[in-house]
Chains A and B, each alone.
Chain A
Amino acid sequence: MKPAPFAYAKARSVEDAIALLAQHGEGAKLLAGGQSLIATLNMRLSAPRILIDLNGIAGLNSITLKGGEVEIGAMTRHAEIERSDVIRKHAPLIAMAMPHIAHPAIRNRGTIGGSIAFADPAAELPACLLALGGLVEIAGPKGKRTVKADDYFKGLYETAIGACDMLTGIRLPAAPAASRYGFAELSRRHGDYAVAGLAASATFASGKLTKVRLAFFGVDLTPVRAKAAEMALAGGDLDKAVAALASDLDPPDDIQENGAVKKHLAGVLLRRVVQQLTETRA
């Protein structure tokens, strides 16, 4: 065993998981696919007192189309999403992002709930959620609630999920006919976390973009909307949109790139993604 000693409990249901969280408080961590958590445990960067394993809870790994929404259960593996026809047809942005998420071995195990709950600022799926204006389903001691993507991300690895809460699923608006999606990412190697990335959704009709949502990732402490750029795009001015990123984004330096470079790269990504959003379909 590489990690420090910890206790283990297997939750039988969402309610059971919430009860265990309430019982153990801050010392507890939820275990989903374990692709980030287990690494930090093994490197002894974190030492929770107890792991609450969600892998035994039934009914959390479904992908369904319901009332104009695509619902994805928290424990759905990336690989299941990657192979899903529902996703391909009704949530194409998620399908576009999938190949960029790490490698097959990680996608076999990692879950969408884990990714959204962990909220790595350089990860793909949180940005897709934001670009699509999706909803996050959270269960807690006081019952269930739904949080809009725009209200969900609070800070570095901080979300609307409270200490005794659990993310149970996400809901995405099913893609309407005129909807368009774009996704681009720059990383050191394919599969690595992004140096900078952009997930976008919009409606494209009569040569005009409307309902533009741009979610950049890898450029701040959370995925971020570039709202001034969105407005400029809706006004049909790409150059203005790129220029607007100067006020929309304020990327901090990290080990790979400094903030100024990231801002430049965001502009390059925007041009590429707008190309995707507006290109004529075959």
Chain B
Amino acid sequence: MSATGIGAAVRRKEDQRFITGKGHYTDDVSRPGQTFAYFVRSPHAHAKLHSIDVKAAAAMPGILAVLTGQDLAGDKIGNLICGWMIHSKDGSPMKMAPHPALAATKVCYVGDPVAVVIAETLAQAKDAAEKIAVDYEVLSAVTDPAKAKSAAQIHDVAPKNTIYEWHLGDSKATDAALAAAKHITRIDLTNNRLVPNAMEPRAALAEYDSGTDSLTLWNTSQNPHVARLVISAFVGMAPEHKLRVIAPDVGGGFGSKIFIYPEEVVCLWAARRVGRPVKWTSDRSEAFLADAHGRDHVTHAEMAFDGDGKITALKVKTIANLGGYMSTFSSSVPTYLYATLLSGQYAIPNIYCEVDAVYTNTVPVDAYRGAGRPEATFVVERLVEVGARELGLDPAELRKRNFIKSFPHQTPVIMAYDAGDYLASLKKAMELADVKGFGRRKRDAARHGKLRGLGYSTYIEACGIAPSQAVGSLGAGVGLWESAEVRVNPTGSVEVLTGCHQHGQGHETTFAQLVSERLGISIDQVSIVHGDTDKVQFGMGTYGSRSGAVGMSAIVKALDKVEAKAKKIAAHVMEAAEGDIEFRDGKFTVAGTDKSMAFGEVALAAYVGHKFPTQEIEPGLKEGAFYDPTNFTFPAGCHICEIEIDQETGETEVVSWTAVDDFGTLINPMIVEGQVHGGIAQGVGQAMIEQTVYDKDGQLLSGSYMDYAMPRAHNFPAFKVDTTETKCPSNPLGIKGCGEAGAIAAPAAVMNAITDALGTEKIEMPATSMAVWRALQTMNRNQVAAE
């Protein structure tokens, strides 16, 4: 292993610029003659849009244009799309409603943009926006997914506000197994709606070059190539080769920056209309209304057990809230990213899942850290825990009885798990968490008037969605391979161009570590280039913890080609047979001799072309590769949470957290640990304090950090984080992916611990101190009534 190679916990190369304020984000880019966009948004959740009077606004100082949905339609700008086709049980396609970038005839959620003001300054744009008079006819609104089907119809194409009624698995076999069950555990769950809140708000800067009739978009995107494809092919803004998308440094995404949003489309369109660059930067209040939200499921689930505590069936019915319009990948989240993971870590012979996706008058919902897999884990892990309590079994014991123990394992819900050792991570976590000492800790807590609870979450997830053929057959509008290009410079330094995009993951370090490992050069000799459609030919971006498993595998393929060609050149230079050249630790050696060349010397030889026949071997050293995996990867692990509840106030504290994850090969253990920490924090935030509140009229009451609580460092104990390792057999590095695991595992662990402490299952996320206190009061009342 080289000092900066695979497995080295080297510090992140990019952090120096980020923590010293030298990062270069979209809002840092300024173009000559730049103007500013400000969006006028609907204050109503559901309304007909009769007219917009822009005259007074247009006459304000500094105003270049005030544009509406009618103008957009007049210029034949296409609608935004959802790129994953889902068919209902009856074979009908999902009901995708038209989604114009500016609403023209009706608005479907508070925050739906209806007009844009383009001005010399942002202040002028905001001042003018206040003069725009919009004539709305307010309609009744619905925000609760469980009530959507009986509410006022939002889109003509979707009767009963139903987008699809989808299912997966064998209904008959599952019902039969339920009928034959010794015990059935039933549970009703809400998976609460979340606001993503990346540190950097979204931004877009669009510039039109009339000389070449081309557009450039700087954008906070997790996948600039997909943005270019959609904006070109579907929105019809410009031909693909006339549109350049640059996603520079991006400050967090968590999924919310995967999607193609109205604002970037409008900026591009407006830049061409006014003939000057147009910049929009969201402020935080706007982000609450303009960035796709996450989760928002209502679920009833039943798990059947036989007399030995073996799970015989799982039946799940979920209503998924997709909001006012279908966001870019919204349809896939509650279907193929959710129901396919319902087997968890368990051998469950029969599974059937129905998912109804509905429109409501709320911000569109799409993928958010984990995307479908946290929802699946929550269902399975709550059921298993409650099942164990009902059966009088230790929850760890029940899990052990049902773990999948041989691989590959075909589940009844599409997935074929390739490798894992679930018992190993459970055992290790139980030791680290000192589960044996829990009884003593619980008694100690009781002496201080506290209730202490312990909860497990033995989760599984699927990363690196693939192969492309398979995802295509499931409805995806794109392939999910990745590309890489390795450019070796004459001096032996290396640039790697990747189709992945980093927005917090540390690719500039981990991808360089792979090159360091393979070529024997330091990571300082390696630059990672990403996020610009003019530099990188194509790529699918970063989400779903895919960059290690898929993106780095593409780099491996390109490095294989570089090494093969370099060996040929080295053979010529050293006048040896190609088969005798060995490459190790950055040196090409003629086997059995002391003749050798450093990697840099071979690179120079490749570019000068003096010592090899350039008619047979092309000069230069640059290779590209596309890599399409043969399967998903399946990270899994065990998280154990302990909480304490103050019985007087309901205040609930996470007092201990243990995470043992199997991510396959670790490239940089320090970065992996950081990813786990962040994921747990987000998952605990969801479980305990992040509460998205709509009132009955569809107003978002939790629209700022005053009202929407994000967790802070003091909400957590020091995490105990460790790993186990089974290599992923379907990619060359054995990587599984680590970016989302914490957020997937954590909510179930928290809720299992809280319900363990309370002795009731009747509490929903977020389990705020008030919710916990209420649950305690209800229990006390019931006890009094029973006595």
Interface, chain A (partner B; CB < 8 A):
1-2, 4-5, 43-44, 186, 188-190, 192-193, 195, 255-257, 261, 264-265, 268
Q: 8 more A-B contacts (CB under 8 A) besides A189-B709, A192-B709? A: A1-B122, A43-B285, A188-B709, A188-B769, A190-B714, A255-B701, A255-B702, A256-B770
Residue of A nearest to B129 (CB): A44
Contact present for B773 and A261 (CB under 8 Å)? yes
Q: Chain B interface (Cβ within 8 Å of chain A)? A: 122-123, 126-127, 130, 283, 285, 648-649, 651, 689, 693, 701-702, 704, 706-707, 709, 711-712, 714-715, 768-770, 773-774
B649 in complex: contacting residue of A5, A190, A268, CB < 8 Å: A268
Q: Which residues of A contact B712 (CB under 8 A)?
A: 189-190
- When chains A and B are docked, how far (Å) is the Cα of A43 from the Cα of B651? 32
9 intermolecular pairs with C-beta atoms under 8 Å apart: A1-B122, A2-B126, A4-B127, A43-B285, A43-B704, A188-B768, A188-B769, A189-B715, A193-B706
Contacts of A190 in B (CB 8 A): 712, 714
- With CB as the reference atom, state the residue of chain B lying closest to A1: B123
Q: Check B127–A5 contact: CB distance below 8 A.
A: yes
Q: How far is the CB of A28 from chain B (nearest CB, A)?
A: 20
Q: Is the CB of A265 within 8 A of B649?
A: yes
**Do B123 and A5 touch (CB < 8 A)?**
yes
Q: A186 and B127: CB pair below 8 A?
A: no
Smallest Cβ distance from A194 to chain B, in angstroms? 12
Whether the Cβ atoms of B649 and A186 lie closer than 8 Å is: yes
Give the residue name and chain of the A residue nearest to B773 (CB).
A261
Q: Give min CB distance, B286 to chain A, whole Å.
A: 11
Interface centre among B122, B649, B706 (most CB of A within 10 A): B649
Distance (Å) between the CB of B99 and the closest chain A CB? 28
Closest residue on chain A to residue B123 by CB atoms? A1
Choose one: A4, A5, A257; the contact of B770 (CB below 8 Å): A257
Neighbouring B residues of A264 by C-beta, 8 Å: 773
A31, B126: Cα distance in complex, Å: 23
Across the interface, which residues of A come within 8 angstroms of B701, CB to CB?
255
| List of A residues within 8 angstroms of B774 by Cβ | 261
Residues of B within 8 A of A43 (CB): 285, 704
Nearest-CB distance from B722 to chain A (Å)? Answer: 29
Bound form: Cα–Cα A265–B651 in Å: 11
Could you say which residues of chain A place their CB within 8 Å of the CB of B123? 1, 5
List residues of chain B with CB within 8 A of the CB of A256. Answer: 770
Residues of B within 8 A of A257 (CB): 770
Partner of B651, one of A44, A186, A192: A186
B126: A residues at CB distance < 8 A: 2, 4, 44
Whether B693 lies near A255 (C-beta < 8 A) is yes
Given A189-B709, A192-B709, A255-B693, check contact A4 B769 (CB 8 Å): no
Instruction: Report the minimum CB–CB distance from B639 to chain A (whole Å).
Output: 22
Assess A255 versus B707: contact at CB under 8 Å? Given A4-B130, A186-B649.
yes
B715 touching A261, Cβ below 8 Å: no
Chain A residue contacts of B285, Cβ below 8 A: 43
Q: In the complex, A255 Cα to B693 Cα: how many Å?
A: 9
Rounded to whole angstroms, the CA-CA distance of A188 and B768 in the bound complex is 8
Closest chain A residue, CB of each to CB of B703: A43
Among A5, A190, A265, find the residue whose CB has the most chain B CB atoms closer than 10 A.
Answer: A265
- Which B residues are in CB contact (< 8 Å) with A261? 770, 773-774
* B730 shortest CB reach to chain A, Å: 43
Interface-central residue, B283, B711, B769, B774, by most chain A CB under 10 Å: B769
Residue of B nearest to A43 (CB): B285
CB distance from A144 to the nearest CB of B (A): 35
Chain A residues near B773: list those with CB within 8 A.
Answer: 261, 264
Say which residue of B283, B689, B693 sits within 8 Å of A2 (CB atoms).
B283
Which one of B651, B715, B774 has the highest number of Cβ atoms from chain A below 10 Å of its Cβ? Answer: B651
Closest to A258 in B: B770
Cα A29 to Cα B712 in complex, Å, equals: 33
Chain A residues with CB under 8 A of B130: 4, 44
What A residues does B651 contact at CB under 8 A?
186
Q: In the bound complex, how far is the Cα of B707 from the Cα of A208, in angstroms?
A: 42
By a CB distance below 8 angstroms, the chain B residues around A195 are 769
Closest 5 CB pairs of A and B: A1-B123, A268-B648, A188-B709, A257-B770, A190-B714
Contacts of A188 in B (CB 8 A): 689, 709, 768-769
Residues of B close to A186: CB separation below 8 A:
649, 651, 769
**Residues of the A chain whose Cβ atoms lie less than 8 Å from the Cβ of B704:** 43
Rounded to whole angstroms, the CA-CA distance of A186 and B706 in the bound complex is: 15
Residues from chain A with Cβ under 8 Å of B715 in the complex: 189
Give the Cβ gap from B555 to chain A, nearest Cβ, in Å.
42
Shortest distance between the CB of B644 and any CB in chain A (Å): 16
Cα(A86)–Cα(B126), bound, Å: 47
Enumerate chain B residues within 8 angstroms of A44, measured Cβ to Cβ. Answer: 126, 130
Give the complex CA separation of A256 and B768 in angstroms.
9
Closest residue of chain A to B121 (Cβ to Cβ) is A1
Give Cα distance in the complex from A3 to B127, angstroms: 9
Q: Give CA–CA (A261, B701) in the complex, Å.
A: 21
Nearest opposing residue in chain B for A262, CB measure? B770
A94 and B402 CA atoms in complex are apart in Å by 58
Q: How far is the CA of A176 from the CA of B197 in the complex (A)?
A: 49
The interface residues of chain A lying within 8 Å CB-to-CB of B283 are 2
Q: How far, in whole Å, are A255 and B707 apart by their CA atoms in the complex?
A: 8
- Nearest chain-A residue to B701 (Cβ)? A255
Residue of A nearest to B695 (CB): A255
Which residues of chain B are near A192, meaning CB under 8 Å? 709
Closest Cβ of chain B: how far from A81's Cβ, in Å? 22
Residues of chain A with a CB closer than 8 A to B706's CB? 193
A255 CB to nearest chain B CB (Å): 6
Docked Cα-Cα span, A256 to B648, in Å, equals 17
Please give the distance in Å from B120's CB to the nearest CB on chain A: 13
Output the nearest chain A residue to B702 by Cβ-Cβ distance: A255
With CB as the reference atom, state the residue of chain B lying closest to A47.
Answer: B130
A43–B284 alpha-carbon span in the complex (Å): 10
| Residue contact A189 to B689, C-beta cutoff 8 Å | yes
Bound Cα distance A257, B126 (Å) = 35
How far in angstroms is the closest Cβ of chain A from B534? 34
CB distance from B123 to the nearest CB of A (A): 4
**CB nearest to B693 among chain A residues:** A255
Which residues from chain A contact B711 at a C-beta distance below 8 Å? 189
Report how far A122 CA is from B53 CA in the complex, Å.
42
Separation of A265 and B689 alpha carbons in the complex (Å): 19
Residue of B nearest to A272 (CB): B648
Query: Closest residue to A42 on the B side, CB-wise?
Result: B283
Report Cα–Cα, A43/B704, bound state, in Å: 10
- A271's closest neighbor in chain B, by CB? B648
- The docked-state distance in angstroms from the alpha carbon of A265 to that of B774 is 12
Q: Which residue of B lies closest to A4 (CB)?
A: B127
Residue of A5, A186, A188, A192 with most partner-chain B CB within 10 A: A188
CA A261 – CA B693 in complex, angstroms?
A: 19
Rounded to whole angstroms, the CA-CA distance of A102 and B404 in the bound complex is: 49
Q: Tell me, in angstroms, the Cα distance from A137 to B688 when the chains sit together.
A: 43
Q: Which residues of A contact B702 (CB under 8 A)?
A: 255
**Distance, CA A179 to CA B316, complexed state (A):** 62
A248 CA / B768 CA spacing, docked (Å): 27
- A190 → chain B closest CB, angstroms: 6
User: Which chain B residues lie closer than 8 Å to A2 at the CB level?
Assistant: 126, 283
